[in-house]
Amino acid sequence: MLDEEHFLGAGREAGDRLCQFVMEEGKVVAVLIWCAAAWHLKDRDQIIGWDPVTRSNRLKLVVQLRRFLVPEAARRPNLASQCLGLSLRELSAQWLAEHEYRPLLAESFSDPESHHGTVYKATNWTFAGDTAGFSQDHTDYYLPNDRPKKLWLKPLDPHAFQQMCAKDLPDDCQQAVVVSGGARSPLKLKELTSLRSAFMQVPDPRRAQSRRHPLSAMLTLTALGLLMGGRDMLNIWRKVAPLDQRQRAAIGLSVRSKESGLLIMPGYDAFNDLMNALDPHAYAAALTDWLQANSGILPRSLALDGKTIGDGKCGMIVTLCRHEDGRPVAMIPASGKKEDGEVSEARALLESPHVRLENALVTLDPLHNKQDTLRVIVEKGGDYLVGTKANTSKRLEGVEKALKDTPFLS
């Protein structure tokens, strides 16, 4: 029926799902498909008042009306609103019977190019705002479609929003909780507090009116995102956003939500603005000191590499990291320009008295195949494994000669 008459077709539901048929004299007069909610909707999440960790743990408490169809042969005035009203009255009990937990909130979307959402207004849904105009193409990939939708919300319980953020959920909602939801910090609470202390002396470049969140907390979050493998500010922000309340307190966050009283995470713009104004050398020096103080003798296998930030607009970071998990042990910023490029700053990082290389094997790409750089590693008690290309013709000739007739030369 959906394939034949719904303008979007039957589609494919995600997660837990439920199909409702509204019957009249033995005939189907409406079909409703309910399924898992959208992962992140800014307006919905702000209205609920939950943080990313709570959302990831309790997202199943929200169900989405994925398809709603009144067949052409059955249509008459007010039938759609009557069917939707019947559906909502039965939804919680039917979902509980099918999936063993009771949902608390329903969400749906209307396309302003197709209809005005009259059926939602008639059944007392709340207009929550417009979407950003993206459609999901794969699990974590969105494409702009230039067609923002209107978001509608309908509480399925009089106290839905309070219950969704409460410390303890009602008994019949407990099965909705996903314990593993949300990323977790690789550092323990004591280590997070120690990391924060390392940034206490870094000068704050922000204006007084822009210092809503403590600088040491912001820098700790950024460093933690780097330790978790973040490659740019957006990725770093996404990795630290799901930290729980105890971790946020250890990091030093202090701003709380007026609705829930929970510690809130700074927004992406706050991180981005800070990084654009911060002295990167002071930040990198403080972070490297902490990494070295807490890592002891460096692991035996290290990699040296440089990554641009913000498509090169914010320069780059040269990092010495562990092979086994990519976790950095020392880093230094570079502008990317000739006088302050990856090669010279990488050498400066290796020369730093804070960086220990004894018994370490350092791997480098051909860009760093420079005598001065490799000499630093050897003089500090380490070994190196470096690529070589035509840009180092003499060394390339020597390698080819030495490895001739061996399986190492392909």
Instruction: Give the Cα separation of 149 and 38 in Å (integer).
Output: 13
Q: Which long-range contacts (CB under 8 A, 24 or more apart) does 361-366 make?
A: 361/300, 361/301, 361/302, 361/385, 362/302, 362/303, 362/304, 362/320, 363/301, 363/302, 363/303, 363/304, 363/323, 364/303, 364/304, 365/305, 366/391, 366/392
Measured from the Cβ of residue 146, the count of other Cβ atoms closer than 10 Å reads 6
Query: Does the predicted TM-score (pTM) go above 0.75?
Result: no
**What is the token pair recorded at 141?**
């990939």
User: If you average pLDDT over residues 343-362, what whole number do you get?
Assistant: 87
User: If you average pLDDT over residues 336-360, what whole number do you get?
Assistant: 81
Question: With bands split at pLDDT 50, 70 and 90, how would you rate the model's confidence at 95?
Answer: very high
CA atoms within 13 A on the CB side of 200: 8
Question: With bands split at pLDDT 50, 70 and 90, how would you rate the model's confidence at 258?
Answer: confident
The 10s digit of each residue's pLDDT in 283-335 is 888 888 887 787 654 456 788 877 766 555 556 788 888 877 677 888 888 77
Residue 375: predicted pLDDT: 92
Residue for token pair 């090669």:
343
Residues 6+ apart with CB under 8 A from 25: none
**What is the token pair recorded at 367?**
């860009």
The 10s digit of each residue's pLDDT in 199-244 is 998 999 999 888 999 999 999 999 888 877 777 888 888 888 888 8
Contact 185, 224 (CB under 8 A): yes
Which domains are delineated in the chain? Answer: 2-176 (3.40.630.30), 188-278 (no CATH), 295-410 (3.30.420)
Q: Give helix then strand counts, H and E, for the chain.
A: 15, 13
Please give the share of the chain, as a percent, with pLDDT higher than 70: 87
Instruction: Give the Cα separation of 264 and 187 in Å (integer).
Output: 20
Give phi and psi for 149, each to the nearest 5: -105, 160
Q: In the predicted model, is pLDDT for residue 184 greater than 70?
A: no
Question: With bands split at pLDDT 50, 70 and 90, how would you rate the model's confidence at 408?
Answer: low
Looking at residue 40, its amino acid is H
